[in-house]
Structure 1
């Protein structure tokens, strides 16, 4: 093989692995199986043993259990001359040793494709399917919420990467459907169509100003009173990775207009901030904060290693004004041993009631990178929700041993 061909093959391999890592967030460095010169197959496996002292997130009916999670994941990645794609499937099976009726398996499928037509025209496409059962949302029929969502979308970019100006045009469509018995949660089913336009203007080699407009339509299938349109306008700045920092800041205003003219329009100041500071090569600080309108069933946060923490909501069809902030610190104490500490605060104000929730999450993890293909982690997570509705307040402790492995 010529040097040129060898270099191209290595570049394709590096690019496809980078694409895969961006979606699967591997801590390990998995070995791939080369199916063709430009197609890679990457299997991984996660085994987790958890003790959860309140897995229904309900202080009126606390249930605890040891939970064994087995989650194999399979990734197919490939790259052509001006294109790349990534397909991932994960099956996450939870076994509750003290509550067999809560055993469940989640199925998550994602696909992503990057197309570069020329220096000025690029297109990113994505699609996904999620089949989920959530134990932290025990409903009035004493069964877990069970739903599936289908998503398809894309972003077209005009402008060379080094150009002074660029524009992104994005669109996304999502279907949310529930499969609970007796048509429970049917009022939550909706179709969501989102459009976005972002204009960037470079003011320094690694810094761009931006102006962004969004239009999101929530079309509820049966609960038509909840159908609404969100219109958001933001401006801000984004900067690429430098020696120590990277991130973006967006501020603006959002408005929610209901299809039912009898429901008042709501508006709020909004912001989205994400920043990373790396004062040392072995220490990284993260800050993310956001304020916006969300649909009630979207009100989730993350703690510790990024696990979703859902706010139980007896009025799931109620939209919320959500303000959330997460602080994180990842630090390598020695070459292959790091800790990850995070704190999340969420404030939720429900638009159609006097209910307000204040959720605090703390996560602490310690991970040992034993081998290139094997990580072992210990973690603790604490969650507390203080709600105006007494039945929605709870405390929750989660202890976990996690093993991530690959070829």
Structure 2
């Protein structure tokens, strides 16, 4: 009872604590609902575990029908197989090495991952970086930590329980063009401290995926569509926090700004085929909106994204899904007050299963975009898609959809062909290829224009060079066309930008809990207005410790 009173007393003071961040009251209401629900779910799980002794039990017995084994690699030397199996275990999987006799009488050693039928059957996610928070080859499967009896709130934060995790990253960054300018470039050499922590029920070793990073100019706050999480667990809940704290900066755009990202999520799958998911993400961050019109200026903002999904599997090939999201964006500077807005998004899907893991679908999307102080930019978007999604094997999954979209303003409208492609393919046990492409409309960041039409793609290749070293190659291209004419100096016309970005990174696992990495990023923008052209080279070196 004392704990309950403490929680609600704390909630009553949250608004006062966060007032200096200028967080709108509507954001706080959503977070209060999420925190209270998470509290009740955690309380329920503690009572349940007290009676049952464990929320989930990992049993690798062959006699257990709820288990199956997937062979991920074969070695000629047993020691190599055992080393690789141990590497996978560090990512939270159960593994076993089995001996096979070849046709010529020799011996080979297979590494198998033990998959629990209650867990998703998608591509196996090998935690190549060791920090548990980066995108890896495919979504997590079997990321569940061994469960132990949970009887008190103290046990919830015990290292052995697996509910609470924390990490700390120290990054040294150098860039030769901190403010993305064509001339008068300013380099930056800075040190950033990034703490993070997450709490989850049931126990998982990897940081919950949650929502994608906020995209301020995308209607609804997300650059790509949100995929529904696998409904194989009965329930799940998490709360996570991450921050970037500048310790030293020579000329960083962030100045002394500390960024914050707080996420929470709840999932419940009912036996009759109904699934509910609720997520909320608050972000305190910054960006550079227009390096030409406001040179040397950094645009700080608060944003909040609330996302809910309800889906129903009829059990007869048809699956219905409904999404709702609310996105709030508020900039600190008065010069950006015309860009403050609220988006309400409604999505309806109807899936037809051709096979258990392959479906055709149609999607109807509606975005109601309202600006706080600039009603001329208010718009309503109507998008209709037809698509195909698959997860045929453990190696390949993806989605393709295309259709037509209408963006209606007060007095005129525009119609465009829109599409989205996502593919995640595991080439081997050690490598994966991830591809995405899109065509869509975005919100503007330039006065005198109403919207932009954006097309782009990204391809990423990930590979384990050895048991301790992993690598990643990434290339992306974006073409952005503004809908109306701009006037820059003596030039008048429609602006079109081409942005290219390439990166390479290496990660080395010093210990099970300690990882170091180095990355290089090259970025180039080519515009019809030369003033917007720029290139930058960035080098990052980091060390990450996790608990």
Counterparts of 2:174 and 2:461, CA distance in 1: 24
Residues 99-134 of structure 1, C-alpha deviation per residue, up to 9 Å, x if partnerless?
A: 277232101111111012333111000112111122
CA distance in structure 1 between the aligned counterparts of 2:241 and 2:474, rounded to whole angstroms: 28
Counterpart Cα distance in 1 of 2:413 and 2:132 = 37
**Correspondences of 1:338-349 after superposition (within 5 Å):** 338-349=470-481
TM-score by length of structure 1 reads 0.85
2:254 matches 1:99: no
2:115 maps to which residue?
none
Aligned 8 A contact 2:249 2:255 in 1: no
Q: 1:90 to 1:327 in 2, by over 3 A?
A: same
TM-score, structure 2 as length reference:
0.64
Output the CA distance in 1 between the equivalents of 2:288 and 2:182: 14
> Does residue 35 in structure 1 map to residue 156 in structure 2?
yes
Give the direction of change, closer, same or farther, for the CA distance of 1:367–1:167 in structure 2 (3 Å limit).
Answer: same
Report if the CA contact (8 A) 2:321-2:348 is conserved. yes
Q: Confirm or deny: 8 A CA contact 1:133 1:147 kept in the other structure.
A: yes
Q: Secondary structure at the match of 2:294?
A: coil
Q: What residue number does 1:306 align with?
A: none
Question: In structure 2, the residue corresponding to 1:186 is in which secondary structure?
Answer: helix
Which structure 2 residues correspond to residues 161-310 of structure 1 after superposition, within 5 A?
Answer: 163-180=316-333, 183-240=334-391, 242-258=393-409, 260-261=410-411, 264-297=412-445
SS of residue matched to 1:391: helix
1:304 maps to: none
Worse-superposed segment, 355-364 or 65-74: 65-74
Aligned to 1:25: 134
Question: Could you give the per-residue CA deviations for residues 256-310 of structure 1, whole angstroms, max 9, x where no partner exists?
Answer: 111x21xx3111111110002222111111110000111135xxxxxxxxxxxxx
Corresponding position: 1:370 with 2:370 = no
Question: Bigger radius of gyration, 1 or 2?
Answer: 2
Larger CA deviation: 185-194 vs 116-125:
116-125
Aligned-pair CA distance for 1:82 = 4.0
More deviation in 349-358 or 39-48?
Answer: 39-48
Give 1:329 deviation, angstroms. Answer: 0.6
* Alpha-carbon distance in 2 for matches of 1:255, 1:315: 22
- Which one of 29, 46, 56 corresponds to residue 9 of structure 1? 56
- Whether 2:315 is the aligned partner of 1:153: answer no
Query: How many angstroms apart in 2 are the aligned matches of 1:48 and 1:119?
Result: 48
Tell me how far apart the structure 2 counterparts of residues 279 and 40 of structure 1 sit (CA, whole Å): 32
Asked if 1 retains the 8 angstrom alpha-carbon contact of 2:470 and 2:507, the reply is: yes
Helix, strand or coil for the counterpart of 1:334?
coil
| Deviation per residue, 1:182-210 (Å, 9 max, x gap) | x1100100010000011111101221111
CA contact (8 A) 1:324 1:345 kept: yes
Distance in 2 (alpha carbons) for counterparts of 1:335 and 1:34: 33
**Residue correspondences, number:** 380
Deviation (angstroms), 1:39 = 7.9
- CA 1:130–1:395 in 2, change beyond 3 Å: closer, same or farther? same
- Mapped to 1, the partners of 2:448 and 2:519 lie a distance apart of 30
- Does the Cα contact within 8 Å between 1:137 and 1:145 map onto a contact in 2? no
How big is the shift at 1:173?
0.5
SS of the aligned residue for 1:110 comes to strand
Contact 1:45 1:72 in 2 (8 A): yes
1:94: how far off? 2.7
Over 3 Å counting, the alpha-carbon distance change for 1:76 and 1:317 in structure 2 is: farther
Contact between 1:39 and 1:78, CA under 8 Å: does it hold in 2? no
Match of 1:143 in 2: 297
Q: 1:30·1:372 contact (CA, 8 Å) conserved in 2?
A: no
1:24: how far off? 3.6
1:83, distance to aligned residue in structure 2 (A):
2.5
Q: Give the corresponding residue for 1:308.
A: none
Provide the rounded CA distance (Å) in 1 between the counterparts of 2:546 and 2:170: 11
CA distance in 2, matches of 1:276, 1:151: 26
Gaps of 5+ in 1: 298-313
CA distance in 2, matches of 1:177, 1:341: 34
CA distance in 1, matches of 2:392, 2:54: 25
Q: 1:335 to 1:106 in 2, by over 3 A?
A: same
User: Would the alpha carbon gap of residues 46 and 315 (structure 1) be closer, same or farther in structure 2, given more than 3 Å must change?
Assistant: farther
